[in-house]
Amino acid sequence: GALAARQTFPSSAPDEGGLPAAGYRAGILGAGFMGGVHSRAVRTGGGRVVSVAAADLDTARAAAPGMGAERAVGSVQEVLDDPEVDVVHVCTPNHLHVPLARAALEAGKHVVCEKPLATDVEGAVELAGLAADARAADGRVAVVPFTYRFHPMVREARVRVRSGEVGAVSLVHGSYLQDWLLRDSDDNWRVDPALGGASRAFGDIGSHFCDLLEFTTGHRIVRLVAQSATVNPRRRGADGVEREVATEDAVTLQYATDAGALGSAVISQVSAGRKNRLFLEISGSESTLSFDQEQPELLWEGRRDASRLLVRDPESLSAAAARYSRLPAGHAQGYQDCFDALVADTSAAIGGDVPDGLPTFDDGLRAARLAAAVAESVRSGGWVEVAA
């Protein structure tokens, strides 16, 4: 049944760090790396992890204590039928996102669904439509964790671009580089298009890059041309069997935005030594800002006369960035803090107070449209207009 969301979760007064403290009751689908990250964020926000379902009951049972889950259950249906579960977190391999998010919305739950929301545009359109219906019906919330939006220095960049301080933005470029699939003995479900989707490097991490670009600049990528490479055409799985690889290890792209900026990006999961380096540089007529996800406490501000490194310090950040600055300066924040903030803002949205920049199923659909444009350009070898 539908939840009386506004009554269940009154929006609490912001705590010292500016984020709401009210928690919610979560059911988590998936007990891998992401299931762990989500469950920590729920509990940090004062919420309960009521139940966890995984590939099978044994897997859920083994994972439950580490996730702080009160119950391990043997089926998704048990999570969906549980009146104690308000928010369903979908943290499974990608091919299950559409059926599970659909079922959770149909069961009257709020949903946080991992990215990619869907492995094709069709599925993302359907889920964005269901999410809009759920919002209209009873204020339900449907979130996709583009979590790098929650780094305070990313918010600071967004404020500085929006206020006009950077000037007219002419160039936005960068890269998102990892190395965890460098060797042909590296394997993962993401490599298999049946589980991960046809767009691998782009869908998995290129989507984060484009989301951050559009989030910080307020521009939209309207045109792009892309190339892709499968550096390891065969990979040996954990079972020792060698298989042909049908997804890309790397993508390079060039693009233009609706506000006339140009840029290029390199997206790779085979760049030795780069672990999770999302680098974004925005150049305007007054200044340049650059952000590196592996050094998230810093934002470089380049100027013709005096460049400087801005350090996360709640005392000196704009209010929109200070909201996400949970710790005093010098006490490093990072990846998990982004998830904690995403869950806190999801909780606020459930309470009826939708925070700026909460990534929704509409943003998941946007990522699916960009992935489709990249795939089409790789196929045709030409420039492609990105659907709005």
* Contacts with ligand SOE, residue ranges (CB under 6 A): 178, 204-205, 208, 276
Q: How far is the CB of 195 from ligand SOE (least distance, A)?
A: 13
For residue 178, the minimal CB distance to ligand SOE (Å) is 6
Query: Cβ of residue 6: shortest distance to ligand SOE, in angstroms?
Result: 31
Question: What is the spatial distance between Cα 47 and Cα 325, in angstroms, rounded to a whole number?
Answer: 20
When the beta carbons of 48 and 208 are compared against ligand SOE, the nearer one is: 208
Q: Which of 66, 89, 121, 150 is nearest to 335 (CA)?
A: 150
Nearest approach, Cβ of residue 201 and ligand SOE (Å)? 8
> Whose Cβ is closer to ligand SOE: residue 252's or residue 276's?
276
Q: Tell me which residue has its CB nearest to ligand SOE.
A: 204
Min dist CB 114 to ligand SOE, Å, is: 8
Shorter beta-carbon distance to ligand SOE: residue 67 or 225: 67
Q: How far is the CB of 269 from ligand SOE (least distance, A)?
A: 6
Smaller CB distance to ligand SOE: residue 204 or 214? 204
Q: Residue 209 Cβ, how far from ligand SOE at the closest point, in Å?
A: 11
Q: Which residues of 209-246 are buried (b: 16+ CB within 10 A; e: fewer)?
A: bbbbbbbbbebbbbbbbbebebbbeebeeeeeeeeebe
CB of residue 109 to ligand SOE, shortest distance in Å: 23
Q: Which long-range contacts (CB under 8 A, 24 or more apart) does 299-302 make?
A: 299/153, 299/156, 299/157, 301/160
254 vs 276 by CB, closer to ligand SOE: 276
Nearer residue to ligand SOE within complex by CB, 288 or 360: 360
Q: Among all chains, which residue has been given the structure tokens 């762990």?
A: 36
Comparing CB distances to ligand SOE, the nearer of 107 and 205 is 205
Rounded to an integer, what distance in angstroms lies between the CA atom of residue 115 and that of residue 94? 7
Q: Closer CB to ligand SOE, residue 300 or residue 335?
A: 335
